[in-house]
Structure 1
Amino acid sequence: MSTTLIDPKTLGFWARCVRDAQHLSQEALAANASVDIRTVQRFEAGKTVNITSRRALAKALGYDNPDVFDDPKFAEEVLKFFDGLKAIQQKNLDDQHPDSVRVKAQALASGTEAMRFADVVNAMSFVIDDGLSDAAKEVAAGFCDYVQELMDLDDFPMSGRLGIAKDLDDLLQDLREKGAHAYFATRDRKLRGPDWGDKPSWDVTIGFLVVVPTDRQLTELYIPRKSKFA
Structure 2
Amino acid sequence: MNTPLIAPKMLGFWVRCIRDAQHLSQEALAASAYVDIRTVQRFEAGKTVNITSRRALAKALGYDNTDVFDDPKFAEEVLKFFDGLKAIQQKSLDDQHPDRVRVEAQSLASGTEALRFADAVNAMSFDIDGGLSDVAKEVAAGFCDYVQELMDLDDFPMSGRLAIAKELDDLLQDLREKGAQAYIATRDRKFRGRDWGDKPSWDVTIGFLVIVPTDRQLKELYIPRKSRFA
Pairwise TM-score range, normalised by the shorter structure: over 0.9
Instruction: Work out the CA distance in 1 between the residues paired with 2:89 and 2:15.
Output: 21
SS at 2:48 equivalent: coil
Residue 205 of structure 1 is matched in structure 2 by 205
Residue 76 of structure 2 is matched in structure 1 by 76
In the alignment, structure 1 residue 28 sits paired with structure 2 residue 56: no
1:205 Cα shift?
A: 0.5
1:48 Cα shift?
A: 1.6
- Unpaired runs of 5+ residues, structure 2, are none
Residue 215 of structure 1 is matched in structure 2 by 215
In the alignment, structure 1 residue 94 sits paired with structure 2 residue 94: yes
Instruction: Work out the CA distance in 2 between the residues paired with 1:9 and 1:214.
Output: 22
- 2:213 is matched by which residue type in structure 1? P
- 1:85 is matched by which residue type in structure 2? L
1:4 Cα shift?
A: 2.1
Instruction: Work out the CA distance in 2 between the residues paired with 1:174 and 1:11.
Output: 38
Aligned positions, number? 230
- 1:38 is matched by which residue type in structure 2? R
Tell me the alpha carbon deviations over residues 188-213 of structure 1, each in whole angstroms, 9 at most, x when there is no partner. 11111111111111111100000001
TM-score with structure 2 length normalisation?
0.97
Instruction: Using the aligned pairs only, state the percent identity.
Output: 88
Residue 66 of structure 1 is matched in structure 2 by 66
Residue 177 of structure 1 is matched in structure 2 by 177
Instruction: Work out the CA distance in 2 between the residues paired with 1:149 and 1:6.
Output: 47
Residue 52 of structure 1 is matched in structure 2 by 52
- 1:103 is matched by which residue type in structure 2? V
SS at 2:53 equivalent: helix
- Unpaired runs of 5+ residues, structure 1, are none
Instruction: Work out the CA distance in 2 between the residues paired with 1:209 and 1:8.
Output: 34
Instruction: Work out the CA distance in 2 between the residues paired with 1:213 and 1:43.
Output: 30
Residue 103 of structure 1 is matched in structure 2 by 103
Residue 14 of structure 1 is matched in structure 2 by 14
Instruction: Work out the CA distance in 2 between the residues paired with 1:176 and 1:53.
Output: 42
What RMSD, in angstroms, separates the aligned Cα atoms of the two structures? 1.0
SS at 1:184 equivalent: strand
Instruction: Work out the CA distance in 2 between the residues paired with 1:7 and 1:92.
Output: 25
Instruction: Work out the CA distance in 2 between the residues paired with 1:170 and 1:158.
Output: 18
Tell me the alpha carbon deviations over residues 160-203 of structure 1, each in whole angstroms, 9 at most, x when there is no partner. 11111111111111111111110000001111111111111111
1:113 Cα shift?
A: 0.6
1:216 Cα shift?
A: 0.5
In the alignment, structure 1 residue 113 sits paired with structure 2 residue 123: no
- 1:164 is matched by which residue type in structure 2? I
Tell me the alpha carbon deviations over residues 46-88 of structure 1, each in whole angstroms, 9 at most, x when there is no partner. 1221111111100111112211112211111111110110001
Residue 229 of structure 1 is matched in structure 2 by 229
TM-score with structure 1 length normalisation?
0.97
1:2 Cα shift?
A: 4.6
